Amino acid sequence: MDYTNLSFREFLASKTDSNPDRVILVDDAQPYTWSDIDRGSSAIASDLARMGVSKRSRVGFAMTNGIGFVMGFFAVQKLGAIVLLINPSQLAEDIGATALVGDATHMIYGDLPGMKSDPDFAGKLITSAHLTPDKTLHCHFDDPRNFIAGCSVSEPFADVSVEADDVAVMIFTSGSTGKPKGVMHSAYNVLNAATLNSADQTLNDSDRTCLILPLFHIFGLVAGLFANAVADSTLYIPKNIHALTVMETIDRYKCTIFHSVPTMLLAIVNNPDFKPGRVSSVRCTIISGAAATQSQIELFKKMMPNNRFLSSYGLSEMAPVSISSYNADDDVVLHTVGHLVKGVDVRFIDPATGDDRPEGIEGEIIVKSTILMTGYYKLSADDQAIDENGWIHTGDLGYIRDDGNLVLSGRLKELIIRGGENIMPVQVESAISEFDIIENVRVYGVPSEYYGEEVAACIVLKTDIKYNEDEFRSALSQKLAKFRMPTYIEVYESFPVLGTGKIDNVRLKEDLLGRLGLNKQ
């Protein structure tokens, strides 16, 4: 069936009508069908409606992977509202600040990681989002099965008309200033991308996918949730993403599909309890979020010989842009990010002049497609990455090989990608500069065999300051989410400067790499 012209609420209705008892998700060893998801999402939608959520409301959404995420997502869609997908692993203030960027009118949040160490986490989240408790919903389920069983099939809330190309989802990506940008997507964007991705993965209704991709990311939403939903394959969600738990999930359920970042694959194959037979059921893995090195791919293929590894490339604004073919040879997987997805056009330009580069010559990658976002939320035309002709400027460098596969060769932007997490240096710099002992700070991404990149901070201390790195790290951890914390902190007397007086970032980073012994990587 063609789902590409349906809204999300129509998509769920279609699945529920045609295959209500199909198990689509297994969470905490409990199976959930399309009918379960429909019933549960209707109950949550009823609660949201009583809170005032209606068509075009913007609902901040901070939920970890699980049945609660899926029911909550469809609940928002049933009301014709826009779901603002926010990274749930952030500090409460960061979640609230992101919700503010999207002008959230309401908020749904689950049992978030930060709640374990901060009893006032929920209060801080609500306050920082400029909301009130009556505009927020804590989705906590002691027993989701009992919750669903107690739901009425037709919970009362207003029926609304929603079109496939209405803005339905907002995903947040860091801008050049570090302030998140709201990337707006429609069901048309997501379901088209998911349909194409499902075909690239050769998904079918007998596949079992171990899902660790975060659903608040575009790739988790497309290649994880909706590509599998299109194919009626079953998602299995581990109770945590520790390597042993993930491996046990794959082994127990004989999962056939597993998408990951290189760091997780390394953690699995290096785990003391790893045995090839425990992951031998996996036939396809898309490596996303960060590029894998040649030595890593060779290790993965050796340890998981039944697995086909696909490399891919995508953006929050459009995912995927490219993906390697299911039967691609080692050269394609090791050295490219695959062929362009159907319907994606690409050009390579001189970033300084905007002129097209000759064929096969590196340039900035700009792309255009029907699966491209509808735009950034509340950004002026001058601040949009999309030009007047519909091309999005990615800030990435690359070229197309003679065989039609895309090669990524570098980045223009400062973004640090650590194990699949996007980190803007200015976010870390801002937190560090709040300390009175800091005179100046610069943050860079440095090479890491395990994570792809690590965060490294260069700091200049104020005169006559007593500095203890352990104490400083402890204090900084209260201001930064764990994944943004610098792995390295190097103290400088002063930073090198250019003739203009500005910091010479090239020289400073070269010196940093030398200090860390990474300048040959």
Tell me what the mean pLDDT of segment 241-262 comes to.
93
User: Residue 424 — pLDDT band, cuts 50, 70, 90?
Assistant: confident
Please say if the pLDDT value at position 433 is more than 90.
Answer: no
pLDDT of residue 26: 98
DSSP string for 91-156? -HHHHHHHHHHTT-SEEEE-S-GGGGT-TTHHHHHHHHTT--GGGEEE---S-HHHHHHTS-TT--
pLDDT tens profile 162-221: 999 999 999 998 654 457 889 999 999 999 999 999 999 999 999 999 999 899 999 999
User: Whole-angstrom Cα distance, residue 132 to residue 129?
Assistant: 9
Token readout for 515 is: 């200090």
Mean pLDDT of the residues in the chain: 90
Residue 500: band (very low, low, confident or very high) from pLDDT cuts 50, 70, 90: very low
Q: Which domains does the chain have, with CATH numbers?
A: 8-191 (3.40.50.12780), 238-413 (3.40.50.12780), 416-516 (3.30.300.30)
Q: How many CB atoms lie within 10 A of CB 498?
A: 11
pLDDT, tens digit (0-9, with 9 covering 90-100), for 55-109: 999 999 999 999 999 999 999 999 999 999 999 988 999 999 999 999 999 999 9
Q: Which two tokens stand for residue 219?
A: 């790739």
Task: State the average pLDDT over residues 257-273.
Answer: 88
* 9, pLDDT greater than 70: yes
The 10 Å CB-count burial string (b at 16+, else e) for 180-219 is bbbbbbbbbbbbbbbbbbbebbebeeebbbbbbbbbbbbb
**What separation in angstroms does the CA of 229 have from each of 70, 225, 373?**
11, 6, 21
Average of pLDDT values for 268-289? Answer: 91
Mean pLDDT of 386-399: 88
What does the pLDDT read at residue 277? 94
Report the distance separating Cα 396 and Cα 64, nearest Å.
29
What local confidence, expressed as pLDDT, does residue 383 receive? 67
Q: What is the pLDDT, as a whole number, of residue 499?
A: 52
Range in 394-403, 472-481, 494-503 with the lowest mean pLDDT: 494-503
